[in-house]
Structure 1
Amino acid sequence: MHTPCINEYQLYQSIRRNQAFWSRQLEDYPLLWITVPRAKKGRDLPEPENQQEMWTDIDYFIAYSENTLSRTYFAGDALPVCHPWLGPDQFAAWLGAEITLKPKEFTSWVKPFVNDWSDYPVLKIDPNNTWWKLYIETVRASAQAGQDKWITAYPDLHSGIDGLCAIRGPENLMLDMVAEPDTIHRHMAEMTALWQWIVDQVTAIIAPYGQGSSNWTGGWSRDRFLCIGQNDFSCLISPPMFREFCREDNLQCCGYVDQAIYHLDGPDALRHLPLILELEKLNCIQWIQGAGHPLPSRWLDLLQQIQSAGKTVQLCYAGSHGGDADFFEEIEILCTHLDPCRLFFNIQTDSVEKADALVRHARKICRSAAKNPCSKT
């Protein structure tokens, strides 16, 4: 891994600590990905007339990413990552859905196109699909331009049950799970196989450059590190249905990569936590409390339950998800009541001084603990 965005010593320490986090050998204080956007001088690139071109014009996307990363301040264990994507519904677009891109809002959506499953006996990605070709060429361009500069991330894949929801519609899919369970089981198996195929395609492009891997959640590994299927649709179904239709997909995806993180999105997803904790090869759970809900430090019982099950925990603070929190207080409470070396903070803040102070604060809090702060169990 090489990059001009941070100095050699910080790079060495960041790589060492990120890898130690996954092997349960992290010492002294939590994994800290703290960034300050636009901390360094520079000019914003002029936006294209059509905002879709922010993602569809590969040259523009690469130039924008390089400009953004070169102006970002990386504190603690953070590293520069480029994220080629076409929004959360890109997977559905690869399956043939009509997609609307909204880069300025950092999102996309599709129009469900499956009216009858009998018309789609097999779900597959056509290698000549316009959106797939655009995505994979963007990955290739990022990997080439980013050699010795940044990590090219694995994709944000709303596959699995979320992918079926996108192409069928939530109401229809819920009815199908009752009326046509065998059909949904068959298509879920196809979604798992497609997820694995995509991982292989991206790995073949990025691995030769030796920059390691990351994904939209942050974090770094020298191996294959992915956020497994999002399962946002799980908030609409019961634990028995989640176990019946989603467990095998999650199990297979976790086993296919070297490090896996699960996106646990809000209180409505908590009903499925017992099953998620059963996933032996799942390393980390990203807890997103959701806009309007108490900050992570108010969920200590939940976070202790996750750590007690042998998983690490990622906590994010940006925008409407805790971006206005007192980060110093959050770090102190969480590091005091939890195993700090099985915590992963991803924080976006507004000044270099604050970013560095947060790193010092985390070290101080953990040093002053009455006992060895980090358990290796």
Structure 2
Amino acid sequence: MKYKPDWEETKRRFIAWWNHSKIDRPMMRVIARLEEPIEPLEPVEPPKTPEKFHLDVERKVKELRNFCKTHIFLAESFPSLSMNIGPGSMATYLGSEPVFSWDTVWYKPCINTSWEEWGPLKYDENNYWWRLHLSLICRAKELAGDDFLVNIPDIIESLDILSALRGAQNFIYDLIDMPEVIKSYIREIDELYFKYYDAMYEIVKDKDGGSSYTVFAIWGPGKTAKVQCDFSAVMSPRQFQEFFIPSLSYLCGKLDYTLYHLDGPDAIKHLPAILSVKDLDAIQWTPGAGKPDGGSEDWYPIYDMVKKSGKSLWISIDEGDFDDWVRKADRIVKRYGADGLYLLFPVMDLEPARELIKKAEMDWR
């Protein structure tokens, strides 16, 4: 890979992490700024609309190339391109219309009458947004060549997509009023997920079948994905066990490598159920707005549970200065060891980046 010459070594470290092990230190994402570009930068015209901001693949590729020319990917960081139609684009493939803003994409509920009137969820190969998304991924892969990876996009799955199609408030009542109907739709959407995922995977997979997933800086030597249920924030543990755990078990059983996105304090109550899914490989914890970052000791009870379950940890350390990052990482490694540990740091200057890696190689073994 042009901008990641030690990519083969990085892949070996990812494989060790998925297997809850290590090679000689924790997995680490470390990206450093360069003082001067390694190649001339390409001119990039700023997007004029939010929709263009999200969907202009030519501009996004230029921006990534410029980033690669002004940064170096150290440790297990790697260059990759994301082409998302927001966080949950499967909703658009099934009838929802996206609403673009500069920082995200929302989805208009489309099941406004009842599930019975809407009927079964069906794969439509001619859906406008599905065909557009496929074309964007194909074009991204064509432009990327062997210079960087193209990520599987954040199509999302299961209850979060059903909630987007129906509207969260209506969906809350549906779980109570028509549980068996909703369970049948969950089964339908679980099958549809792989129609969409597999098509994307076939485009972006590397020559050995490996793939990377958007946003979370993960690669695996097979079908790799982040899985989630943000809707769980308004569910009781009983509902979560009844409606989502069978879906999660099914998804993790068919995917090769899975990272669960545990989002915010209201999701913590579901962690024991999540950890019971044997085919789930790793946990990523997002503390939420106004909370300390992943390096805080406040979250050690969560990490204790994850490590006890035998699954791997994904921890982002991003608050404070460089010395704060090192102190937090040092405490985490001393408590949990380096096996199955992935630490992600903010972009930094080259000298501290090298110092951080040297520290890891000497002390975090």
TM-score (norm 1): 0.89
SS at 1:74 equivalent: strand
- The aligned counterpart of 1:187 is 185
Distance in 2 between the 1:12 and 1:249 partners?
Answer: 34
Moved more, 264-273 or 39-48: 39-48
Structure 1 residue runs of 4 or more that deviate by more than 6 Å after TM superposition: none
- The aligned counterpart of 2:17 is 21
- The aligned counterpart of 1:200 is 198
Whether the 8 Å CA contact 2:281–2:312 is kept in 1: the answer is: yes
Q: Does 1:93 align with 2:89?
A: no
Q: List per-residue Cα deviations over 1:223-247 (Å, max 9, x = no partner).
A: 111112x200101110100111111
Superposed displacement of residue 6, structure 1: 2.8
Q: List per-residue Cα deviations over 1:6-60 (Å, max 9, x = no partner).
A: 33xx323212211222234412211001224687533662213223113333333
Distance in 2 between the 1:123 and 1:323 partners?
Answer: 47
Distance in 2 between the 1:56 and 1:11 partners?
Answer: 28
Distance in 1 between the 2:346 and 2:250 partners?
Answer: 32
Superposed displacement of residue 211, structure 1: 7.5
1:110 paired residue among 87, 107, 112? 107
Moved more, 208-217 or 273-282: 208-217
Superposed displacement of residue 123, structure 1: 1.4
1:11 paired residue among 1, 7, 22? 7
Superposed displacement of residue 355, structure 1: 2.1
5 Å-filtered alignment, 1:63-212, equals 63-102=62-101, 104-105=102-103, 107-115=104-112, 116-207=114-205, 209-210=207-208, 212=210
Q: List per-residue Cα deviations over 1:49-82 (Å, max 9, x = no partner).
A: 2231133333333333333344332111111111
Distance in 1 between the 2:198 and 2:241 partners?
Answer: 26
Q: Does 1:307 align with 2:307?
A: yes
Distance in 1 between the 2:65 and 2:358 partners?
Answer: 29
Count the aligned residue pairs: 357
Distance in 2 between the 1:269 and 1:222 partners?
Answer: 29
Whether the 8 Å CA contact 1:176–1:184 is kept in 2: the answer is: yes
C-alpha distance 363-186 of structure 1, shift in aligned 2 (>3 A) = same
SS at 1:52 equivalent: helix
- The aligned counterpart of 2:31 is 35
Whether the 8 Å CA contact 2:209–2:221 is kept in 1: the answer is: yes
Backbone CA RMSD of aligned residues: 2.0
Question: Structure 2: any 5+ residue segments left out of the alignment?
Answer: none
TM-score (norm 2): 0.91
Amino acid at match of 2:261: H
Q: List per-residue Cα deviations over 1:276-297 (Å, max 9, x = no partner).
A: 0001011100011122223333
Superposed displacement of residue 180, structure 1: 0.8
Distance in 1 between the 2:361 and 2:43 partners?
Answer: 35
Distance in 1 between the 2:340 and 2:149 partners?
Answer: 23
5 Å-filtered alignment, 1:324-335, equals 326-335=324-333
- The aligned counterpart of 2:259 is 261
- The aligned counterpart of 1:280 is 278
Amino acid at match of 1:312: S
Whether the 8 Å CA contact 2:42–2:62 is kept in 1: the answer is: no
C-alpha distance 92-36 of structure 1, shift in aligned 2 (>3 A) = farther
Superposed displacement of residue 151, structure 1: 1.5
C-alpha distance 152-175 of structure 1, shift in aligned 2 (>3 A) = same
